[in-house]
Amino acid sequence: MQNKVTAYIGLGSNLSGPRMQVSKAANEIASISASRVVAFSPLYLSKPMGPQDQDDYINAVIALETRLSALQLLDALQAIENTAGRVRKDNRWGARILDCDILLYGNETIENERLTVPHYGMKVREFVLLPLADIASDLLLPDGTPVSLLANEIDNNGIVKLPLLK
């Protein structure tokens, strides 16, 4: 088993009770073997990236210490998506019940047919950068770019940080 690595996972949903889907996924991520959640961002409400004829998204980011390899972690996350009822379609930007993306895996850069880390779109997505900055403002991307700088400079596109439920 390898040393532990901190991975950052982006969560998103806009179908079937999105707030509940993201919360349930967070609980399931907390039960991934050889791993433990070390931070969970506030939830955010964001506009869809693709076609605008779909509901807004609930997004969050989780920091996870894990001893799993990046591909083992990807397998675990895809199993959580599948259990939630995720159906992979050709429409890349369409509505979805649950999306669990590995944004960062330690300081590694990974490019293969199954996984690209850092996540290819993270530098330009407010729904990734703002919750990531909430839990890891001092974090540097593998290329040395500070997350806080990216979060401060990005257009927020109307994203809203949601209050905690009581």
Helix axes 18-29, 70-84, angle to 10 degrees: 140
Per-residue tokens: 28: 């399931």
| Partners of 8 in the β-ladder | 63, 104
Domains of the chain: 5-161 (3.30.70.560)
Q: Which of these is catalytic: 19, 86, 88, 92? A: 86
| Residue 90 bears catalytic tag | no
DSSP, collapsed to helix, strand or coil, labels residue 84 as helix
Q: Of the listed 92, 101, 114, 125, which one is catalytic? A: 101
Please write the tens of the pLDDT for every residue from 79-92. 999 888 766 665 56
For residue 14, the 8-state DSSP code is -
Query: What's this model's pTM, rounded to 2 decimal places?
Result: 0.93
User: Annotated catalytic, 92?
Assistant: no
Q: 38 is written with which tokens?
A: 């070390």
Separation between Cα atoms, residue 15 and residue 17, nearest integer Å: 6
Catalytic residue from among 99, 114, 134, 143: 99
Question: Is residue 56 annotated as a catalytic residue, yes or no?
Answer: no
Could you say which of 67, 96, 134, 155 is catalytic?
96
Tell how strand 99-105 and strand 35-40 pair up: unpaired
As a whole number of angstroms, the distance between CA 43 and CA 153 comes to 20
What was the pLDDT predicted at 114? 93
User: Tell me: the pLDDT tens digits for 29-54?
Assistant: 999 999 999 999 999 999 988 777 78
* Bond into 131 cis (ω within 30): no
- Residue range 18-39: mean pLDDT, rounded: 96
The span from the CA of 73 to the CA of 28, in Å, is: 12
